[in-house]
Amino acid sequence: MKMPVALNVVLLVVGSSLFYTYVGQLVPQKQLLPPAEVAIAADLTTDQMVKVGFEVVQQKGLCLTCHTIGKSGTLRYPDLAGVGDRAKTRKAGMDDIHYLAESLYHPDAFVVPGFKGGMPTINKPPIGLTDKEILCVIAWLQSLGGTPSVTMQTTLPDQAQG
Amino acid sequence: MNPRLLIAAAIVVLLGLGGAVRVYFALENQAYHPPVRSLGVESGFPREQALKDIAKDREAKAKAKKYEAPTYRTLPFVSSRVAVWVVAQLHLMFAAFVLAVPMFAFIIELIGYFNGDKRYDRLAYEFTKLLSTSFSFTASFGGFLTFLLIMLYPAFTNYLMEIFSWTFFPYVALFFAEAGFLYSYYYGWGKFHPVVHLLLGLGVNVVGTLIMFIADSWASFMMTPGGVSDAGALIDPWAALDNFTWMPINIHRFIGNIAFGGSVAAAYAAWKFLGAKTDEERAHYDWMGYMGNFVAISAFLPLPFAGYYLAREIYGYNQALGIMMMGGAFSWLFIIQAVLIGNLFLAANYYLWLGMGRIEGTQSYQRYVKYLLAAIAVCFAVWATPRSILASVSEIKAMGGTLHPALGVLGVMSAKNTAVNILILTTYVSFLFYRRTGKRPTVAWAALGNAVQFLIFFGVSGFVIALGVYGYFVDAATRIGLSIPQVLSVLIGMVTMTVIDAFMLRGAEQTGETHWGKLPAISQYVLIFIAVTFTWLMGLMGYVRSGLRQHWHVYGVMRDQSVDAFTPTLGFATQVISVIVIIFFAFIAFVFWLSSLHDKPDWGSAGQGPRGSHGPGGGRH
């Protein structure tokens, strides 16, 4: 029996759509939730700051979307392994805390040779880390090849007043 | 008698009497008694007064209530995000169709005007017949979308109005002008001097493009806002309109609309072909389908280049946004895209190869089809190879990571860019073969021309592959830059080969006739499949452009605080896209049916033929 053209066309349209829907189910399924706002206590120890900093780096900060840790070869963005040590000597006259703070508040002030600028300013939207979160991120960055020395009481030039 | 026994008997009798009395009262308590009301309580109960007081208090509170503008509202059965998504995408699809069809209708009419072939005029009119209902659907979905936005996202809609209200009057004025041009163009077919009619067609296209440019500024602002302060206050209205991705989206949509419109028009022709009763009808709709598909594929070939430009600007605006698109949560979406585009290339080539069958003397080119198919299959496979493989823990351990030891190298940009460029070149060669079938060049330099074309094809292919391989040995910035010479070499190669071919086939000897309509039915289903795939691709790309903002209404400026502020899984997104595609085809089937009514005889005049010359443009058919 010959199928009517209209039925063939309906089957083709629905069948093709179902096939593409099926392809869509085969890829990894991940739902992205907005970053949760976490209140950071003012009396965190530096060790606690490192842990909180790593959470911020993975989630709200989106840092690991671009940066890698311990990867070599032709990289698109600087690898973060050993940055805690390198930060001490990157810029003459600037200690590691202030260098790392500058790279977060003013990413294009110093661009690592061999890479292009363009990293988003971290304390402004869309990422918009708070000053406390940035202190924790600095603690975590210091822990990569160095010894964390930043505290919650550390003041940085770009911190919001009050 | 023993006195003790007497005392004990008296006690037993007393206890027995006491028990009997207790049982009597217990039974009496369980018996039915009519209710006894306390008159004192009934008369003093303040229920009615209390109810009055509550109502009075509620009224007083209602009167004292201050107005608070809602930030969000919700619908009962469907999330706000999905409702706006579906309606916006349907509006975009109809808008794309309405903007694209007049472009190629105008060009086809222009060709007919210059070469005097009435078939072109009829074809252009046939395409235009699809427009009037589609225009109404575009406006209806646009109105629906506006109401949904005002209803569900009032604060966000207010903000967009704050930024773009100055564009609304020009937009409305252009919409009136578009309606004027479009309906004059359609109803005026054959009623004006051809040049006047062509000018009306030009008007439809110019005004339609301007409308799209304005609407694009609203959508692109949401992704890459410009001209506003950090807090979102408007500083520079023109910078808000001319934001980072405005022009790339204009260009991308302009080309994409033509590809999409061409494919849907070809699907209409295929539908008519399949239902045709005479050879003449089949010949006409075969030709119409071929032209629609030719338009679609011609526009489709440069579309990836416009896509590169758009992606580059997204990276330029915010690297995190670019990385999120290509390397983050949305990266797997491009594997789905590769499947769609691979299918489009396969189907488009298959249609061209089938089309060779309608021309006599096709054998000389058909023997190359297997090589073309092999090239397409390999490129398709490379393009659809993911960077990291989904694998079990043991498989990951065996591979030493998520990268496959052999296939991992194919899942990177160098390989994919090379594959897509070769796909484009291969499709172009299929078209070139089709174009040359049944013709023999008569110019003296034909052999040289063939050799030069051959050299250009292999030269460009070799260059593209060499750059792709070179990309593995250089840093990322250089590697990204290599896509530009790859793209340019392919474009220049195609243009050069076309120019050579055009001159070489001037006055060519016809070695075989083209039998329009002599094509297997499967070819028409291929055209419909291409239209479905284009529509699905449009839905997918619409999702990534909009979804990329994630939990932002306006990226980095206005955050989405609603319950729908999450980005759904790709699986869910594909389900929504399929629903949109099926709804779109249900509506477009109605458009096709309405257009077909024009060819049916008037009611009560069965057997006297269609209205023909009574209808618009009948005089010029």
Q: What is the pLDDT of residues A136-152, one digit of tens each?
A: 999 999 999 999 999 99
Question: Hey, are the CB atoms on B528 and A28 less than 8 Å from each other?
Answer: no
Q: Which residues of B touch A12 (CB under 8 A)?
A: 525, 528-529, 532
Nearest residue to B345 (alpha-carbon basis) of B306, B373, B368:
B373
Question: Hey, are the CB atoms on A65 and B328 less than 8 Å from each other?
Answer: yes
Instruction: Tell me if A112 sits within 8 A of A78, measured CB to CB.
Output: yes
What does the alpha-carbon distance between residue B149 and residue B143 come to, in Å, rounded to a whole number? 10
B477 closest CB neighbour out of A116, A124, A127 = A116
pLDDT number for residue B560: 94
Instruction: Tell me if B186 sits within 8 A of B616, measured CB to CB.
Output: yes
Q: Over 60: is that where the pLDDT of B40 sits?
A: no
Question: Hey, are the CB atoms on A5 and B339 less than 8 Å from each other?
Answer: no
- Mean pLDDT over residues B37-49, rounded? 62
B336 closest CB neighbour out of A12, A24, A33 = A24
Question: Hey, are the CB atoms on A118 and B316 less than 8 Å from each other?
Answer: yes
CA distance B573 to chain A (A): 8
Instruction: Tell me if A138 sits within 8 A of A37, measured CB to CB.
Output: no
Query: Residue B105: which pLDDT band, with cuts at 50, 70 and 90?
Result: very high
> Any CB–CB contact under 8 A between A5 and chain B?
yes
Q: Which residues of B touch A35 (CB under 8 A)?
A: 551
> Any CB–CB contact under 8 A between B578 and chain A?
yes
Burial of B290 (0-12, 13-18, 19+ CB in 10 A): buried
> Any CB–CB contact under 8 A between A72 and chain B?
no
3-state class (DSSP) for residue B482: coil
What does the alpha-carbon distance between residue B285 and residue B108 come to, in Å, rounded to a whole number? 15
Q: Tokens 């990571």, residue? A: B401
Q: Over 70: is that where the pLDDT of B232 sits?
A: yes
CA distance B424 to chain A (A): 22
Q: Over 80: is that where the pLDDT of B270 sits?
A: yes
Question: Hey, are the CB atoms on B574 and A124 less than 8 Å from each other?
Answer: no
Query: Residue B607: which pLDDT band, with cuts at 50, 70 and 90?
Result: low
Instruction: Tell me if B584 sits within 8 A of A30, measured CB to CB.
Output: no
Most confident of A60-69, B9-18, B153-162, B314-323: B153-162
pLDDT number for residue B480: 73
Q: Which residues of A touch B476 (CB under 8 A)?
A: 74-76
> Any CB–CB contact under 8 A between B271 and chain A?
yes
Among B203-212, B372-381, B430-439, where is mean pLDDT lowest?
B430-439
**Residue B185: Cβ within 10 Å count:** 26
Query: What spatial distance separates the first Cα and last Cα of chain A, rounded to whole Å?
Result: 81
Q: What is the pLDDT of residues B383-431, one digit of tens each?
A: 888 776 666 667 666 766 666 677 777 877 888 889 989 999 999 999 9
Q: Over 70: is that where the pLDDT of B612 sits?
A: no
Peptide bond into B70 cis (omega under 30): no
Question: Hey, are the CB atoms on A32 and B329 less than 8 Å from each other?
Answer: yes
Most confident of B5-9, B139-143, B324-328: B139-143
What does the alpha-carbon distance between residue B492 and residue B384 come to, in Å, rounded to a whole number? 26
Instruction: Tell me if B601 sits within 8 A of B110, measured CB to CB.
Output: no
CA distance B552 to chain A (A): 8
Instruction: Tell me if B486 sits within 8 A of B464, measured CB to CB.
Output: yes
Q: Which residues of B touch A74 (CB under 8 A)?
A: 474-476, 479
Among A64-68, A130-134, B290-294, B477-481, where is mean pLDDT lowest?
B477-481
What does the alpha-carbon distance between residue B79 and residue B562 come to, in Å, rounded to a whole number? 10
Question: Hey, are the CB atoms on A16 and B529 less than 8 Å from each other?
Answer: yes
What does the alpha-carbon distance between residue B621 and residue B619 come to, in Å, rounded to a whole number? 6
Question: Hey, are the CB atoms on B570 and A34 less than 8 Å from each other?
Answer: no
pLDDT number for residue A161: 57
Query: Residue B5: which pLDDT band, with cuts at 50, 70 and 90?
Result: confident
> Any CB–CB contact under 8 A between A73 and chain B?
no
> Any CB–CB contact under 8 A between A69 and chain B?
no
A13 closest CB neighbour out of B569, B577, B582 = B582
Tokens describing residue A3: 């199928």
> Any CB–CB contact under 8 A between B529 and chain A?
yes
- Mean pLDDT over residues B58-79, rounded? 91
- B554's enclosing H/E stretch is strand B552-554
- Mean pLDDT over residues B236-242, rounded? 96
Question: Hey, are the CB atoms on B574 and A20 less than 8 Å from each other?
Answer: yes
Tokens describing residue B492: 């220049």
Question: Hey, are the CB atoms on B556 and A12 less than 8 Å from each other?
Answer: no
CA distance B395 to chain A (A): 16
DSSP assigned state of A33 = P
> Any CB–CB contact under 8 A between B316 and chain A?
yes
Tokens describing residue B417: 């860019």
Q: Over 60: is that where the pLDDT of B167 sits?
A: yes
Q: What is the mean pLDDT of chain B?
A: 88
Q: Which residues of A touch B567 (CB under 8 A)?
A: 31-32
Q: What is the pLDDT of residues B129-143, one digit of tens each?
A: 999 889 999 999 999
What kind of architecture, by CATH, is found in domain A46-143?
A: Orthogonal Bundle (1.10)
Question: Hey, are the CB atoms on B566 and A34 less than 8 Å from each other?
Answer: yes
> Any CB–CB contact under 8 A between B276 and chain A?
no
- Cα B539 off chain centre by: 3
Distances in whole angstroms, Cα of residue B547 to Cα of each of A113, B228, B533, B551? 34, 22, 20, 9
**Three-class secondary structure assignment of B496-510:** HHHHHHHHHCCCCEE
Backbone Cα Rg of chain B: 36
What percent of chain B lies above the pLDDT cut of 70? 92
> Any CB–CB contact under 8 A between A39 and chain B?
no
pLDDT number for residue B619: 39
pLDDT number for residue B390: 63
Query: Residue A71: which pLDDT band, with cuts at 50, 70 and 90?
Result: confident
Question: Hey, are the CB atoms on A124 and B230 less than 8 Å from each other?
Answer: yes
CA distance B519 to chain A (A): 16
pLDDT number for residue B609: 52
Torsion of CA B13, B18, B23, B28, to 10 degrees: 130
Q: Which of A22, A30, A58, A116 to mutate to test the interface with B (most CBs of B within 10 A)?
A: A30
- Mean pLDDT over residues B535-560, rounded? 94
> Any CB–CB contact under 8 A between A8 and chain B?
yes
Q: Over 50: is that where the pLDDT of B614 sits?
A: no
Question: Hey, are the CB atoms on B574 and A25 less than 8 Å from each other?
Answer: yes
- Mean pLDDT over residues B591-609, rounded? 77
Backbone Cα Rg of chain A: 23
Q: Over 90: is that where the pLDDT of B439 sits?
A: no
Q: Which residues of A touch B315 (CB under 8 A)?
A: 118
- Mean pLDDT over residues B104-128, rounded? 91
> Any CB–CB contact under 8 A between A2 and chain B?
no
Q: What is the pLDDT of residues B330-360, one digit of tens each?
A: 888 988 999 999 999 999 999 999 998 888 8
> Any CB–CB contact under 8 A between A1 and chain B?
no
- Mean pLDDT over residues B45-65, rounded? 88
How many helices (H) and strands (E) would you count in chain B?
24, 4
pLDDT number for residue A65: 80
- Cα A94 off chain centre by: 24
CA distance B416 to chain A (A): 18
Question: Hey, are the CB atoms on B550 and A13 less than 8 Å from each other?
Answer: no
pLDDT number for residue B106: 94
> Any CB–CB contact under 8 A between B526 and chain A?
no
Q: Over 50: is that where the pLDDT of B253 sits?
A: yes
Among A74-78, B154-158, B197-201, where is mean pLDDT lowest?
A74-78
Q: Over 50: is that where the pLDDT of A96 sits?
A: yes
What does the alpha-carbon distance between residue B425 and residue B294 come to, in Å, rounded to a whole number? 15
Q: Over 70: is that where the pLDDT of B477 sits?
A: no
Distances in whole angstroms, Cα of residue B116 to Cα of each of A46, B53, B185, B186, B281? 84, 87, 19, 20, 21
